[in-house]
């Protein structure tokens, strides 16, 4: 598959939202405390007796982002093959009101990345493009949030050179519908030679 990564504006998020982000959850990463947490935490993959469909867009559509956040400095990208959109990615950068950015200008957040189910695993370079875009803005790290229910995403981020920096067991405690999920924050060091180019 030959795709081209193109930048779009916030006014074109209807195109972005055409790419579904739902996936089947067959297993999760259960958190095991070592010595009550004093020895750290360990993630252990556990199969689910009853798989289910997780759809991030059911909680918030990309169309909603400009109303909720200052997206003037964000990057929005489509992976296109002609007129067909195979995937999309959004990178938050230098925006007030986005706590994940930690009020830093040397940190970006891969806010969203999505690839059509039939194109997953095809090598679409959205992640590499987001990393390069972040590096061009002087970022030294790119942060990515996911949950313990998204095992394929965790594996993907690790393959791309990210390190798991935070396991927040109660990160969603106040969020109805996902309060039992564990927040996992991954970090890509953009200063290393081995980071995606």
Q: Where are the domains of the chain?
A: 4-189
pLDDT band at 193 (very low <50, low <70, confident <90, very high): low
CATH tag for 4-189 (out of 3.40.50.1220, 1.20.1250.20, 3.40.630.30, 2.40.160.20): 3.40.630.30
| φ/ψ (deg, to 5) at 132 | -65, -40
- Of 97-106, 150-159, 178-187, 188-197, which range is least confident? 188-197
- Of 51-55, 105-109, 120-124, which range is least confident? 120-124
Rounded to the nearest integer, the mean pLDDT of the chain is 95
What's this model's pTM, rounded to 2 decimal places?
Answer: 0.94
Residue pair 126/142 in contact by the 8 Å Cβ criterion? no
Q: How many CB atoms lie within 10 A of CB 93?
A: 24
The span from the CA of 131 to the CA of 190, in Å, is 7
pLDDT at 195 over 60: no
Beta bridge partners of 111: none
- The owner of tokens 């998204």 is 150
């Amino acid at each position: 598959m030959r795709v081209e990564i193109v930048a779009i504006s916030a006014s074109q998020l209807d195109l972005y939202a055409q790419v579904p982000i739902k996936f089947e959850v067959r297993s999760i990463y259960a958190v095991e405390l070592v010595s009550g947490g004093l020895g750290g935490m360990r993630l252990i993959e556990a199969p689910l007796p009853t798989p289910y469909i997780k759809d991030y867009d059911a909680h918030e559509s990309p169309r909603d982002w400009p109303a909720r956040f200052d997206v003037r400095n964000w990057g929005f990208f489509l992976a296109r093959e002609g007129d067909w959109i195979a995937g999309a990615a959004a990178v938050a950068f230098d925006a007030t009101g986005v706590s994940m950015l930690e009020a830093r200008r040397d940190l970006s957040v891969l806010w969203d990345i999505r690839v059509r189910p039939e194109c997953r695993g095809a090598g679409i370079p959205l992640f590499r493009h987001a990393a390069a875009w972040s590096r061009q803005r002087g970022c030294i790290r790119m942060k990515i949030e996911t949950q313990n229910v998204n095992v394929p995403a965790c594996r993907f981020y690790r393959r791309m050179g990210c390190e798991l920096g935070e396991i927040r067991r109660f990160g969603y405690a106040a969020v109805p519908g996902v309060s039992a999920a564990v927040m996992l924050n991954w970090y890509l060091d953009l200063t290393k030679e081995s980071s995606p180019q």
